[in-house]
Amino acid sequence: MAETIFARMLRGEIPTRFLHEDEHCVAFADIAPQAPFHVLVVPRRPLTNIGAAETADGALLGHLQLVAAVLAKAAGYADFRIVTNSGAGAGQSVMHLHLHVLAGRTLRWPPG
């Protein structure tokens, strides 16, 4: 897997304020927020995207979603969206799996 900016953030090479960190993942604010609350949940393990995940990654994927939900609720948002882009054609620009957690405004569907 090619080096990404998220890998550098995880290694501490780019100073980043983590809103959450545990042995499996970190979370930090998106640099270009698309909603009043826009946090990224990023696994420490460099999986390219959910399309590259395997059965053995199930627990990690579940953990990332639970962390995302806890962070949104802890910030006071009962309603929120968790989304992950898998592949450039789906809008993925950083090739290290991450969940977007969005809240704080009305979120329309489909997202476009």
Residues assigned a catalytic role? 98
Determine contact, residues 48/4, Cβ cutoff 8 Å: no
| Residues in 21-80 that interact with ligand AMP by CB under 6 A | 28, 30-32, 40
Element (H, E) at 20: strand 20-21
Q: List Cα–Cα distances, 65 to 3, 11, 41, 48, in angstroms.
A: 24, 22, 8, 17
* Closest distance of CB 70 from ligand AMP, Å: 20
Q: Is 91 in the site for ligand AMP (CB under 6 A)?
A: yes
From 19-27, 56-64, 69-77, 88-96, span contacting ligand AMP (CB under 6 A)? 88-96
φ and ψ at 83, to 5 degrees? -140, 145
- Is there a contact between 95 and 4 (Cβ–Cβ < 8 Å)? yes
Among 26, 80, 85, 97, binds ligand AMP (CB under 6 A): 85
From 11, 93, 108, 110, residue interacting with ligand AMP (rule: CB under 6 A): 93
Piece in contact with ligand AMP (CB under 6 A), picked from 19-27, 50-58, 64-72, 90-98: 90-98
Q: Which strands, in side-by-side order, build the sheet including 20-21? A: 20-21, 25-29, 37-43, 99-103, 81-83
Instruction: Name the site residues for ligand AMP (rule: CB under 6 A).
Output: 5, 28, 30-32, 40, 85, 91-94
